[in-house]
Every structure is written in structure tokens, then in C-alpha cells.
Amino acid sequence: MTTDHRPISPTLQKNGEIGRWSLVAGHWSFERIACPQAKLAAVCRGFILGTLLAMAFGITALSQRYIVAMNQAEERPVGLVALPEIFGDYPCEAIPQKTLQLFATPSKQRPAVATIERKNPAKAEGPDCEETEAVVRRLDKNSIGPLPTDESGYEYTKAVVYEQQGSWFRIAIPGGSAWIDRPNSEGFMPYPEDLTSDSLLTYLRPNWDGKIWTEAGSGTPVMAPAGWRAHAKEDIAVHVESIQTVQGQKWIRIRFEKEVCGKTFGDLPPLEGWIPAYRDARTTSLWFWSRGC
């Protein structure tokens, strides 16, 4: 699958070799870098140690930008919600600086506990525009940190929602969550319901256990054919057929795709069935390539 390349290039060692890690198509890969052996070996090692902190910061920063895609959510995500006051209605939109208030409960009867602010000023639209950096200022703890986000499309950044009550959304913030009031729910992209859209390229997350259900929420799961299970550690493209709620738990009917974006799984048998919408207390079973192929 050839998807968006989001490189991070800290340098470190892997099995005694010096190289550079980068995130390509949602997976970390290691590229070996030649290093002089004798007199520069110590210099190389020192450089490696000096970049470890930069590496940790880079990975953390990236994971906060794609917390659902990179499995960094602290709770089960129920969707994404737009914050046009911070990110604009479309990427690189030049908008005035604004601040959004966050509350401990879905009510404005008590003072706000935090605010969302744009860290970098908006620049004119064009090739020099910068991606918005949004931060959360905790008024109760006098701290500041990056707003955890994900994308609904190419550079369409959204806040990550853990719970909804009418026009109120409990969203992820550094170290927890807080409530934000929206004018309406039009900017809300619910999971897994919106995955039924044909405009999204949806995939089954890696490390799938190979189980599939013939009925939503009932019966004993069956093991998928061995050919499909051989790809269980990869992203597997699927088409979402329908959603069903059984005893409060959401289930997704999926059809496995044998070819997408130029990648093919070969002569595998057709496969459809049900899977739970979540694998555990934090991880979605499916997600989508927000930047396409």
C-alpha cells in the first residue's frame, strides 16, 4: 500500500548498525547509514546518543497528530470532530486567531478548565502556508501541550472524540479529556458509522486474530481462510458493508478487498463477515487511510 509518507529521521542503532528510522505508509522502517569505522566510531556513537532525545520527541509529536491511526488514544474513540475556529474549514485557510474553551463537564455553569489555542499564526494561503499547531492550555494545572488530533482527509485535522452528549463532545487532551460545545453535530464524524462511506479507504488493523463472525454479536467465531490469515500482521483493505449494535456493542460487517491502490493479495477466496468495532478498551478494529493511496 502506497500511502502518505510522514518521515521522522532521528538516527540511532539497530542490531549494531547506524541508520535512520522513518514512518512510511504507517509503518516504521530502518535505513542503514554507512559510518566510518575506526577514528570516527566514537563520534558516530556520540551523535546517536545526542539524537535519542530528538527521536523521542519526534515520535511523540507525530503520535499526537494521529492518535487513532497510531493507536495512541487513551480511551475508545467514537469519532472525530471539526474545530474550524482553530484549523479552518479547509487546509491552509487563513483565519483569525481564536481560542476555544474546554470544560470539566458538558455544561458552562462552571469556569473553563482549559483552552485550545493556535500556536503558530495563520499565514496566507499558498505554497508557504504552515500546518496548524494547536495546543491545550490547562488552566487548572498551569500547563500547555499539543492537542491530540487525527485526520478525516488530506490535512483535514480534527479533534478526537471519546463521548458525545448532544452538541457537547468529550475530546482527547494531553493527559485526559475535556468537554467542548459545538454549534451543532455537522462537524462530527462518528466511528464506525462514517466508515460506510465509499469515499474512505478503510483497512483492518495489523495483528488481526483471524476471527470472523457470521452473525453480529452472537455465535462462535470462525477462523478466516489461511491465505487471509497469512496477512494478519499487515493492513488489510476492507469495505464496510453495514453497522449493527448488539447489547450496546457495535459490530461491523466487512468485505475483504483483494486489490486496492495497486496492491494485490493474489488468488484468495472471497471473504465477508462481522467483527467487533473495538479490539480492546482503546483500539478500533478498523481505521482508514486519510491521505488515500
pLDDT tens-place string over residues 99-156: 999 999 999 999 999 999 998 876 666 666 778 899 999 998 889 999 999 999 999 9
- For the chain, residues with pLDDT lower than 50 are 1-17, 21, 24-29, 36, 38-40, 43-44, 47-57
Q: How far is CA 14 from CA 21, 211, 272, in A?
A: 10, 34, 40
pLDDT of the residue at 41? 53
pLDDT tens digits for 194-222? 999 999 999 999 999 999 999 999 999 99
What grid cell was written down for 97?
486567531
- Do 266 and 213 lie in one domain? The reply is yes
Domain boundary among 13, 30, 65: 65
- Do 161 and 199 lie in one domain? The reply is no
- Do 126 and 42 lie in one domain? The reply is no
Mean pLDDT, the chain, rounded, equals 84
- Do 84 and 184 lie in one domain? The reply is yes
- Do 200 and 179 lie in one domain? The reply is no
What grid cell was written down for 218?
452472537
What grid cell was written down for 198?
465509499
- Do 129 and 37 lie in one domain? The reply is no
Q: How far is CA 245 from CA 63, 250, 276, in A?
A: 30, 4, 10
- Do 144 and 102 lie in one domain? The reply is yes
pLDDT of the residue at 9? 34
Owning domain of residue 33: 5-65
